[in-house]
Amino acid sequence: MSPSACHARVKRLRGTGLIERTVALVNSEAIAACLYVVVEVTMERDDKRLYRRFEQRVLEAVEVKQCYKVTGESDFMLIVSVPDMDAYDRFCDRVLYAEPNLRKFRTLLSRHRVKFDTSATLARNV
């Protein structure tokens, strides 16, 4: 596909709302020490209002890079990025321990990120 055709396609996809935003991915390991933490969160009560309150708390936490509401034993999975364990402890105090509906959370430290992919597969006719 020629650069002009590619530009036209991207412009059309933005216009339809399929492209939400354009971002640059920074190599976080090149700029500072960084820990990636996967956090499984289990709530005490299954209550939509309480869930929304927690979701708002997560949206405001800059350390949370991704949040998924999940099925199974846990209610939420968070991907948290912090410079060190002290910063993670401060995050836990401010976000997790401050949530009265939180029953428990489990912390999984990433030793090495094997794959990170932000691509999406589009149908041919899009």
Q: What is the dihedral of CA 55, 91, 112, 103, to 10 degrees?
A: -60
Residue 77 bridge partners (DSSP): 40, 68
pLDDT tens-digit readout, 58-84? 999 999 999 999 999 999 999 999 999
Give the pLDDT of residue 9: 81
Which domains does the chain carry? 28-109 (3.30.70.920)
Sign of CA dihedral 112, 118, 119, 122: positive
For residue 124, pLDDT over 90 is answered with no
For residue 16, pLDDT over 70 is answered with yes
Give the pLDDT of residue 123: 75
Give the pLDDT of residue 125: 66
Model confidence at 10, in pLDDT bands (50, 70, 90)? confident
| Side chain identity at residue 101, one-letter code | N
Give the pLDDT of residue 108: 97
**pTM summary value:** 0.81
User: Hey, is 44 helix, strand or coil?
Assistant: coil
Residue with tokens 């090149």: 30
pLDDT tens-digit readout, 80-106? 999 999 999 999 999 999 999 999 999
| Helix (H), strand (E) counts: the chain | 4, 4
Q: Decide if 42 contacts 99 (C-beta within 8 A).
A: no
